[in-house]
Copies of this chain bind each other. A is one copy, B any other.
Amino acid sequence: MAGLSIFGIPGLPEIASGMDLGALIADSATAAGSPLEDGDIVVVTSKIVSKAEGRQVRLAELEVSPFARQYAEKWEKDPAIVELVLRESRRVVRQVGPVLITETRHGFICANSGVDQSSSGGEGIALTLPIDPDASAAIIRRALKARGVDVAVIVSDTFGRPWREAQTDIAIGIAGMQPVTSYIGQVDPHGHEFRVQALCTADEIAGAAELVKGNISRVPVAVVRGLPWEPDDTATMQSIIRDTEHDVFR
């Protein structure tokens, strides 16, 4: 029964700005009786990465633009949240009624630029996505390497998608392994190229990790063990962002 196992890492403390996530993850895994091993893939919820990186914003301190204010008032939204969403965006993709879909400064397209007021660490505080989730993943990977384990790291977030209700966890940052498995150029016995040419393994791993983390529980880190990957420190999730010009749903 070859295969993979996925388990959460319990026991992490409440994360505050400046904390060393790599060290905390390694220690919690060991304390839980399942120390990290070479070849593991460690999936870290972006929320705790944001907290460790001080990405909390005090809403009362934001100067709200007229555009944000009129939209917020029309749809009974918090004006400071709308302001923050716009500041975290480089483009509004859809603004339909109260629904605000934006392209984040990283190039990800999601609701409200990933701004989150729940479990943000305090009243009147909102949490924003990490500034560079690939770099965040690389920092955690390096911290774990310094402790003697060679693991890949994925920073995950929960995004909606068009056409399908409910959300799924996907990867917004990666370090150590490429996010995509490519079958381009391979053909079936009749010479037909496979319909599927590339799989975004990183997104599937992020979703798989969510199954054990549970989205609103306090297990923000999970380990995927048994899935082979080639070490590659040039990897980035930026590589899977489709050019706007080539996207038929821009």
Contacts and interface: CB of A to CB of B under 8 A. Distances in A.
Contacts of A2: 7-8
Contacts of A162: 109, 161-162, 242, 247-249
What is the copy number of this chain in the assembly? 2
Interface residues of A, number: 75
B117 A195 contact: yes
Contacts of A112: 195
A180 interface: yes
A88 interface: no
Contact of A4 (B5, B168, B215): B5
Interface string A45-59: 000000000000000
B198 A180 contact: no
B167 A194 contact: no
B163 A247 contact: yes
A240 B158 contact: no
A211 B203 contact: no
Interface string A222-250: 10100100000000000111100001110
B248 A196 contact: no
Interface string A96-128: 100101000000110010001111101100000
Interface in A1-54: 1-8, 32-34
Question: Closest 3 interchain pairs by CB?
Answer: A3-B7, A208-B208, A204-B207
28 contacts: A1-B32, A3-B222, A4-B7, A4-B211, A5-B5, A5-B6, A6-B208, A108-B163, A117-B195, A118-B190, A118-B192, A119-B189, A119-B194, A158-B196, A162-B162, A164-B240, A165-B200, A165-B240, A166-B179, A166-B180, A167-B196, A167-B197, A167-B199, A167-B200, A203-B207, A204-B207, A204-B208, A205-B211
Given A4-B6, A4-B212, 15 more contacts: A1-B34, A5-B6, A94-B248, A119-B194, A123-B190, A164-B240, A166-B180, A166-B203, A188-B216, A199-B210, A204-B207, A204-B211, A207-B207, A208-B211, A249-B249
Interface of A: 1-8, 32-34, 94, 96, 99, 101, 108-109, 112, 116-120, 122-123, 158, 161-170, 179-181, 183, 186-190, 192-201, 203-205, 207-208, 210-212, 215-216, 222, 224, 227, 239-242, 247-249
